[in-house]
Structures are given as C-alpha cells and as structure tokens.
Amino acid sequence: MPPPSERTAELKTEMSRELHIVGFKVGRETYGAPITSLHEIVRVPEITAVPDAPEYMEGVINLRGKIVSVIDLRKRFGEKHAAVNRRNRILVIEYNGRLSGLIVDLASEVLKIPAADVEAPSAIFQDGSLNCVTGLAKYKGRLIVLLDMHKLLEHNGVRRQNEATEAKSQWAAKPETRGAAR
C-alpha cells in the first residue's frame, strides 16, 4: 500500500477526473455517451428505407459518400409514435469501423461530469436489453443515464442489420456483368 501522502494524491486525482459526455434527449429523459464514441452530429436528412428492417431501423443515409444505417432511438427505447421535428438530430457513431446513426430528439450539450458524481448501474440494468447502461450521473440536479453506444448497437440484431445494409450497398456498387461477352 502506498504511503498516506501518495494515496491522498491518488484520491485527489481520481476525484478531480471529469467525464466528457455528449448529452441528448430521447423523450423526456436525458442520456449521455462518451464524447470519444461520437463521430459527429448532423441534422436529419432524407432517409432511404431498407426492406425487412426492424421497426426501429429507419433506413440509411448518404453522409458525404458513406452509407450510414440510421436507428431511431425513440423507437429502440419503446416509444411507438416518434414525431419528427426540426430539433431532431442524428448522432453518428463509429462502430467496428462503420458509421451508424442514432436519431435523438435533441443533442443538447457537452457535459463535464466529475467521476465522483457517477454511480454504477444497479444489477437490474445488467439484465436483458438494459445492459447498455453504464452508469447514472448526477448533474446540476438532473439524473443522466450514461449509455455504452457499442452495446446499444450490438443489441437486437442492429449489428446484423448494419452488416446486411453494408453487403447490399457493396452489391449495388458492383458493375452489372449480365450479358457480357464470354
């Protein structure tokens, strides 16, 4: 065990550490994700539907030449009627070398939350579909649910849908060879 003076310095460093979180709203709730998981935030452009996609999969967008699958987080979190408005944004996340978009009601702010103000989620959050919750942060009288974007995108076939979307876009990009000279 380190001497008391070193241990005190370690505790001060740990207590002064801050998490940099992107805050966003889905419904009435405020959620947060590490800013390092975010590629960019964009307005919602025209979205192209993908056949046989889950209900929460809105489709794909063309983001500066890259095909990005888009998931509506409101639907993913169980809201049946997600109204679209001009404040909606897409959080673009890089996941396994690909970009995925998450529609949110409002991308509000970048928050600096002291690590001491974050509590680990209770055991109930680790069961089933809630395992994407990494913590609960207390910030200016609000409670912010911290999410792991990678686990969120892994759940319920989102990963498989992203792979299928990529495969379809690769197939569509190949030149047609039917009727070519033999």
Is the entire prediction scored with pTM above 0.95? no
| Contact criterion met (CB below 8 Å) for 111 and 25 | no
pLDDT tens digits for range 19-68? 999 999 998 899 999 999 899 999 999 999 999 998 889 999 999 999 99
Q: Which CATH architecture has domain 19-172?
A: Beta Barrel (2.40)
- What is the full DSSP assignment across 31-56? EEEEGGGEEEEEE----B--TT--TT
Q: ∠ CA 134-153-64 to the nearest 5 degrees?
A: 120
What letters, b where the CB count within 10 A reaches 16 and e where it falls short, cover 151-170? ebbbeeebbebbeebeeeee
Q: Give me the residue spans of the domains in the chain.
A: 19-172
* 62 φψ region: left (φ > 0), alpha (ψ -120 to 50), beta (else): beta
